[in-house]
Amino acid sequence: MTPTTETMVGIGGAAESTDMVLNIGPQHPSTHGVLRLKLVLDGELITSAEPVIGYMHRGAEKLFEARDYRQIIMLANRHDWLSAFSNELGVVLAVERMLGMEVPERAVWLRTLLAELNRVLNHLMFLGSYPLELGGITPMFYAFTEREELQHVMEEVSGGRMHYMFNRVGGLKEDLPAGWTTRARSAVADVRSRMDRFDDLVLGNEIFRGRTRGVGVLSPAAVHAYGVSGPVARASGVDLDLRRDEPYLAYGELADVLKVVTREEGDCLARFECLLEQTYHALDLAEACLDRLADLPPGPVNQRLPKVLKAPEGHTYAWTENPLGINGYYLVSKGEKTPYRLKLRSASYNNIQALTELLPGTLVSDMVAILGSMFFVVGDIDK
């Protein structure tokens, strides 16, 4: 009989599941900039997630204190680089409120028009980039085609393609070029006529729907807890839009045109559907503004300002419905030509916090789908 040898192998903790920490970013194609996600995994399952920010922090809020009220527009313009006009708008509204300044009617309607065109430009970028992150490259080309159509008219009126610098305290930089409204109306109509590509190509794609339906469900309670706003919040059934609920600019007169898009599901698909439908409504608002501008008599688009502009001592808060959500500016003045303090509440900063609630319990393969559906810009977080 052949002797046998028994060997005992000590396997220790290797027989049990072991958590693994995985860093997504800060340089990663799915993070829209230098954002780092610290994930703890149990196999393929995410057990905890921590967004780590600050990699591109530029200290804009501190720089506000060293710039006068004309110069701070440039700093505010840049944090959400897809919503530059809307960023400028919040600052000038806060300063005008401090000054008790009335803006000419023509400037009010022009600001509303340009804000809605900027909203469409912002949304088109995400309508193209989100399918790209899930493997569909074609929608990105269509999105850039439509963006170029609108960029032409925005560039003609302001001189800028990305950072328009067209708002001024008291109104706008200058009036419209001759024939611009006709060209803008044509661009809006052309973009609208081709928007069904996203309905057919993206929403009609069973792979896209399979990757997004029921994935990354954000509850209304979490929306309120984290201060989420914009299309991400409305996709969870939170019916809040400052353009309707606290009208500014000319939105109070556009109540019959303005429609707030909501969904109840709160998943990735609902967030995309909200963004797409909101783009259609932004085009409707732009057309309504063009109609009203056609009826307005010629007039000034800004106020004459003193050489040195000083806001009176006090404080105020102005907020706007930016394309990605609520942007707020808390302005404190000591009566000088520079703000004593200007605190920015940006939409992306609050929205990205919800990832700590959304990602745990999901698979790593769904992480990119959830991350992309939050529609954020990292500069808007690291302001």
How far apart are alpha carbons 37 and 59 in whole angstroms?
Answer: 22
Q: What is the pLDDT of residue 58?
A: 80
Say how many C-beta atoms besides its own lie within 10 A of residue 165's C-beta.
15
Both tokens assigned to 208: 């896209």
- SS3 track for the chain: CCCCCCCCCCCHHHHCCCCEEEEECCCCCCCCCCCEEEEEEECCEEEEEEEECCCCCCCHHHHHCCCCCCCHHHHHHCCCCCCHHHHHHHHHHHHHHHHCCCCCHHHHHHHHHHHHHHHHHHHHHHHHHHHHHCCCCHHHHHHHHHHHHHHHHHHHHHCCCCCCCCEECCEECCCCCCCHHHHHHHHHHHHHHHCHHHHHHHHCCHHHHHHHCCCCCCCHHHHHHHCCCCHHHHCCCCCCCHHHHCCCCCHHHHCCCCCCCCCCCCCHHHHHHHHHHHHHHHHHHHHHHHHHHHHCCCCCCCCCCCCCCCCCCEEEEEEEEECCEEEEEEEEECCCCCCCEEEEECHHHHHHHCHHHHCCCCEHHHHHHHHHCCCCCHHHHCC
How far apart are alpha carbons 318 and 306 in whole angstroms?
Answer: 23
Both tokens assigned to 284: 């409707």
Q: Inter-axis angle of helices 180-194 and 105-133, to 10 degrees? A: 30
Q: Are strands 20-24 and 36-42 parallel, antiparallel or unpaired?
A: antiparallel
Both tokens assigned to 337: 């030509």
Q: What is the pLDDT of residue 11?
A: 45
Write the CA distances from 368 to 29, 48, 130, 362, integer angstroms. Answer: 10, 15, 9, 11
How far apart are alpha carbons 124 and 111 in whole angstroms?
Answer: 20
How far apart are alpha carbons 121 and 246 in whole angstroms?
Answer: 24
The pLDDT profile of the chain, 383 residues, written as one tens digit per residue, is: 566 655 444 444 444 556 788 888 787 665 666 888 999 998 889 999 999 988 888 888 999 999 999 999 999 998 888 999 999 999 999 999 999 999 999 999 999 999 999 999 999 999 999 999 898 899 999 999 999 999 999 999 999 988 999 999 999 999 999 999 999 999 999 999 999 999 999 998 999 999 999 999 999 999 999 999 999 999 999 999 999 999 999 999 999 999 999 999 999 999 999 999 999 999 999 999 999 999 999 899 999 999 999 999 999 999 999 999 999 999 999 999 999 999 999 999 999 999 999 999 999 989 999 999 999 998 899 88
Q: What is the pLDDT of residue 10?
A: 44
Q: What is the pLDDT of residue 19?
A: 78
Q: What is the pLDDT of residue 26?
A: 81
The answer to whether residues 283 and 120 touch, using CB atoms and an 8 Å cutoff, is yes
At residue 81, what are phi and psi to the nearest 5 degrees? Answer: -70, -5
How far apart are alpha carbons 79 and 90 in whole angstroms?
Answer: 12
How far apart are alpha carbons 315 and 161 in whole angstroms?
Answer: 33
Both tokens assigned to 94: 């806060």
How far apart are alpha carbons 100 and 334 in whole angstroms?
Answer: 16
How far apart are alpha carbons 20 and 80 in whole angstroms?
Answer: 33
